Amino acid sequence: MSPRPDLGPKPRLGYTQSPIDRAAELRPDDAAMARLAAQPGAGAYVIGGDWIVMKKGAPLNEPLFAFDEARSLGAAGETVFLGLLGGVARFGHGLAPAAAEALKSNERYLVTDLRSIAVQGLVEAEHLPLIAEAKAVLHWHLRHRFCPNCGAPTRPVSAGWKRDCPQCDTEHFPRTDPVAIMLAVTGEQCLLGRSPRFLPTMWSCLAGFIEPGEAIEDAVRRETREEAGITCGRVVYFQSQPWPFPSSLMIGCHAAALTRDIVVDRAELEDARWFSKGEVESMLMRRHPQGLTTPPPVAIAHHLIRAWLEDEIRFD
């Protein structure tokens, strides 16, 4: 057994530890919403599809806008009440994606995607879970303009947390899609794979959507078997992470691998193989001789791998 490595202080997992009080009881109260929006200090995150609009700053940018300022930026979409922070309201303000794109040429603003903001640390880390919340709900609005039951146009209510169908009276709520992400381990080795979409040097945990009627543990075993041909036994839940691309919840698990012979599903993965603790440590600490890496701390895969390296999880 290799000695427990010293990996330094644990970094923060992206989009988690939200400081907000969602104050869901206020959502149906239109008068309260109007009052909160007019309060001094109330602010909105401005999001146009995949684009986040920020006021340029150094070293960090400012993603919060006063309401009037947000409205002056271009054609607006829906608004969603995110909750209260220190008694002051935060909102997500939807901008037409084309209006957000048009702001890219304005030197007062920085317009970029949320992944870049998180990985490069372009705003205070406290903003990330709030931007993630706003982005996921605003994306849902963009995709649910019509009732899936009868086809009539739906209308937003409850401060952006519901859409009603005036034709058939069906209520529609924002959805979250669960994804199982897992690190299969056996003795002193773990299984990592490469998607063709990854940077050429990156290896990560396997992952896949949980299907209707499927338990998390069964999804972990199915995905590992389908993508890498590995059979897993015991599955242990580790941690979860909102993943607003567009609206997933990553459910991180460790799994005890019962077999060793890998059969890669080339339709899903470019490659998959076993890695030793020593090699994974060098990847995590960015000192692998061939430059191989694991995902950055913003992603739950980083934390799943690190917890195994630090012996937080053992199956023997």
Q: Using CB under 5 A, list all residues that contact Zn ion.
A: 147, 149-150, 152, 165, 167-168, 170
Q: Which of 305, 164, 173 is nearest to 247 (CA)?
A: 173
Distances (CA, A) of 186 to 89, 274, 280, 314: 48, 9, 14, 9
Nearest approach, Cβ of residue 148 and Zn ion (Å):
8
CA distance 54 to 250: 26
Nearest approach, Cβ of residue 76 and Zn ion (Å):
25
Q: Which of 142, 124, 151, 222 is nearest to 182 (CA)?
A: 222
**β-bridge pairing 88-95 and 43-48:** parallel
Q: Which is nearer to Zn ion, 21 or 169 (CB)?
A: 169
Q: Which is nearer to Zn ion, 169 or 312 (CB)?
A: 169
Q: Which is nearer to Zn ion, 127 or 172 (CB)?
A: 172
Nearest approach, Cβ of residue 155 and Zn ion (Å):
11
Q: Which is nearer to Zn ion, 121 or 166 (CB)?
A: 166
Nearest approach, Cβ of residue 168 and Zn ion (Å):
3
Determine the 3-state secondary structure of 55 from DSSP: strand
Q: Which is nearer to Zn ion, 135 or 141 (CB)?
A: 141
Nearest approach, Cβ of residue 33 and Zn ion (Å):
25
Tell me if the bond preceding 40 is cis, omega within 30° of 0: no
Nearest approach, Cβ of residue 141 and Zn ion (Å):
16
Q: Which is nearer to Zn ion, 122 or 147 (CB)?
A: 147
Distances (CA, A) of 251 to 104, 206, 209, 283, 304: 34, 12, 10, 23, 11
What sign does the dihedral 231-199-58-44 (CA atoms) show?
A: negative
